[in-house]
Structure formats: C-alpha cells, structure tokens
Amino acid sequence: TYADDIQPWLGQYFGFALLDVTLDEYGNMDDVAWLLVAETRNGSAADDFLAKVAATWAENHDVAAVNESYNGIAITSFPAEMPGEGLALARSGRMVLAAANVDVIKQAIDTQKGNSLADKAAFQDAVADLPTERVVTMYMDGAQLTGLMEQVNPMAAGLGLSAANALSMSGLKGTAVSLTFVDAGLQIDTVNAYNADELSSAQRTMLDAYTTAPVSLSLFPEDTFLYMGAQGLGNIWELYRETLVTQMGDPEAFSESMALFARDFGINPDTDFLPYLNRELAFGLMPADSGLLADELDLPMGMVLVVGTDNEAALAASIATFTEKITDPNTSGLGQANRVESNGLTLYEFSTSYDEALRLTYGTGRDYFYLGTSTADIQSLQFGGGTALADSDGYQTAVAAFPDEMVPVMYLDLRSLMSTVRSSVATSNTDMTEFEQVAAVLYPLHTIAAAVHINDMNMHQTTIFFIEK
C-alpha cells in the first residue's frame, strides 16, 4: 500500500521519461524505453520497497530475477521476450530508478555523474518561460518528436496531416509543458522553443502576429459560449501546399485534383479561394433559435467561422462563381442558394437538393469570409452595435488572469454552455441522469481560457481552468 510501502521513503521529486519510442504505422507505441525516477528520503525503506516489487513481479510473471552490479549500484532486472514488457530496478544514491530494461537503468546512473537533460540548451530555453511555482514539468525533444511523426507519415500523409506537422515542427527545438495551481484554478503552460535560423517565412509571420488582441473578439456577441482564434495566416496556404505536394511526391496529381474540383465546382481552391484566406481566423459558438444545430439536433446554438482577407473583391467573385456552379441544374445541381445583402455583407443561404434541412450560409463582406449554420448566426456578429464578447464581464474577468503581454486565443463559458445543453435535454424528454452526473463533476469548472505570448522565438501558451472555490 502507499501508506506502508511508499510513503516512508518517497521524497519531494518525481520524474518519468520516455526514451527511444517506436511507433507503428497507426501511431500506436510499438516499443518504448521508459524510465521512472523518484527521490528517496530513506534509503533503507526504499530498498525494502524495491525488494518487495521484485518479488511480486517474479511471482506474477513466473520469471527469475537477474542481479548485477554497475558502478557499485545493485540492479535487479527481469528480461522480457516481448518489447516493453521487461522491468529493471535500482537505487542510485537518493534516487529510486525503475525502467523498461537494464540498459536504461545504466544510462540513468551514468547521467547522474555526467550531462543530464537539465544541461541541454533546448531544455533550458523551453522551461525558462514556465512558471517557477509549477508542480509538474514535462519536456519533449523537438528532433525526437519530429522523428515520431515521421514514423506515422504513411497514415498522416493520407489524411493531409504530415504537411501540417511539417509546418508546426519546422525548427522546433523542444516543447515544455507545466501544471501550476493558481488562485483562479489550474494553469497549464506550453512552450514551443524554435531555432530562429530554421523558421520558415510563414512561421515567422504567424509568430510575429501575436502581439495585439485579435480584432475578431469585437465581432462575436457577448453571450458567445466558445471563441477560438488564430492570427498571422499570411502565406500559410502557399507553404502548406508546397509541403503537401512534397509529402505526396506527385505535383501533377495535386494539380489534377485541383483541376477536377474546378471542373465540377467552378473554382480552383489552390488559386481562387484558399490564397485569399490570409488574415485572422476565428470560430464562435453562440446561442441561436434556428439553424442547422437548432433545427436538426435540437441544440439552440449556432456556429460561425470568419477568416480575414486582403482581397475581398477577388474572394467574392470566386464565391459567386462557386455558388452559380453548384446551383446550376445543368451541371452539379447540388442545391439551391438564396442571395442576401445584409449590413455590408453578401451572403448565400444554401440548402441541399437531397435534404433542404441541411443548410448553411456563407459569403463575404467587411474584409472577411463567413461560414455559419444560419444567416441569423452571421447577422448576430457585432458590426458597430451591441455588446461584443470582448466587453462582456465573463471575458474581462478571464482575460485579467493573464499577463498583459499575452494575446487571447480561446475562451469557453462552460457554465452557460452546460446550462443551455441542460435546457435542451430537459425539453426533449431524455433521461437526465447521465447528464446531471457529468454536470455535477464539471460544475466547479466554469470557464476555460487560453492566451499566447511570443518571447524570443518561444511560443508560450497559457491555458487556465477557472474553478469555483
């Protein structure tokens, strides 16, 4: 038990590491060398614990222990026929060690007398921005993380994810994550440390953009449940396309797929649509009485995606061509679209020919592209009237918990969202038991918010889980 076997010797510090991880083509761990380290304040009690663990392992697995000495340290190990199923135990000074095999134990013993992770420059750069009051610290080496993603490249390439990984990981030295208890609740910090010399122009554009609060915060209404934003899209599509083509290994196949899309839908996404979505991006979930979610799922909510553009005229022309093509009964005839001019926006209310209830609204205006679950959802955006999310009491309280230099990227009013879902579930004559059980567990957690700060090529994101005391 913990009280009898662990508490008598366990010290203040504890660590766990994964080394030499090998993944299969589906992203599952095929083999892994792991290491667990715990400080001890009572060597004799720790030795008794290790002896008990060894005896229990030998009995449960019907294997004999192998005892050896390495640099004066006694090691007990249990080799395994299958990767990842072995165990090795030792105490080296004030450190209790447990690992997947004896080689990892020996490496840990050597590290105590040589250079450790703490001496690595990339580690130092990443953890430097983490809170000093943190209770948990995690670190992932950039090169190893990139290597893991390359191992699952066949599957990722099929999903188009390997190109996205290449964008986010190019120049990555390491990622550090910490957990800290703060007055507001629980805080998780993530720091991606980049090598400035290896950053692409698109990455620099994105990093440089996180200096001021996103404009889109002033668009969404004050009762928005969820807001997520990103800045500095710039030439992201151009770089993503180049990376995607490289991953595919066949530029002609990519061009042919874009040409086929243009034949069927009137526009080439590669040249007529995606390059124009080059500024701020934001997504919002807000209350709504009608629309796709409200009408089809009985959830009184609506969703809106907005993406900034520096060439609204060209984007609007592409949208018009696309709409004409998909509503032409002589070509695709996918559905019907009703054009609506509203408050400086040109919107298209589209419903499919197969099911008129499946409808969306999209369009352009005021230097943005819009996609929403209804026209009313897009019209609820605040263009100079009403109270915006950025001015709401809940948002202001949440953002005040972050340092002034951090830029908001996410806000979730969980309590309002749960209240709306509860009302919807209650009116649908559905058994409320399971919902209320989940709601009771989540109730102390009322808000989640995240913000980003760029510091000398380190991208630092802080996420705070606001918990009611």
- Given pLDDT bands bounded at 50, 70 and 90, which one contains residue 159? very low
* Run of H or E including 23: strand 10-23
The total of structural domains in the chain comes to 1
Answer yes or no: is 124 within a domain: no
178 and 464 Cβ atoms separated by less than 8 Å: no
Which candidate, 450, 381, 386, 439, places its Cα nearest to that of 414?
Answer: 439
Answer yes or no: is 277 within a domain: no
Q: DSSP string covering 268-295, please?
A: -IIIIIGGG--S-EEEEEEE-SSSHHHH
Answer yes or no: is 175 within a domain: no
DSSP 3-state assignment of 382?
A: coil
pTM of the predicted structure, to 2 decimals: 0.81
388 and 217 Cβ atoms separated by less than 8 Å: yes
**Locus of tokens 């994810």:** 161
Answer yes or no: is 461 within a domain: no
pLDDT at 167 over 60: no
Answer yes or no: is 56 within a domain: yes
pLDDT at 212 over 90: no
Which candidate, 189, 193, 64, places its Cα nearest to that of 125?
Answer: 193
Dihedrals phi, psi of 50, to nearest 5 degrees: -65, -40
pLDDT (0 to 100) of residue 157: 41
| 374: its two tokens | 């209804």
Answer yes or no: is 55 within a domain: yes
User: What domain range includes position 22?
Assistant: 2-114
In the chain, the N- to C-terminal Cα span, in Å, equals 31
The letter for the amino acid at 417 is L
The 10s digit of each residue's pLDDT in 102-134 is 999 998 888 887 767 777 888 888 888 999 999
Answer yes or no: is 266 within a domain: no
Answer yes or no: is 430 within a domain: no
pLDDT (0 to 100) of residue 378: 95
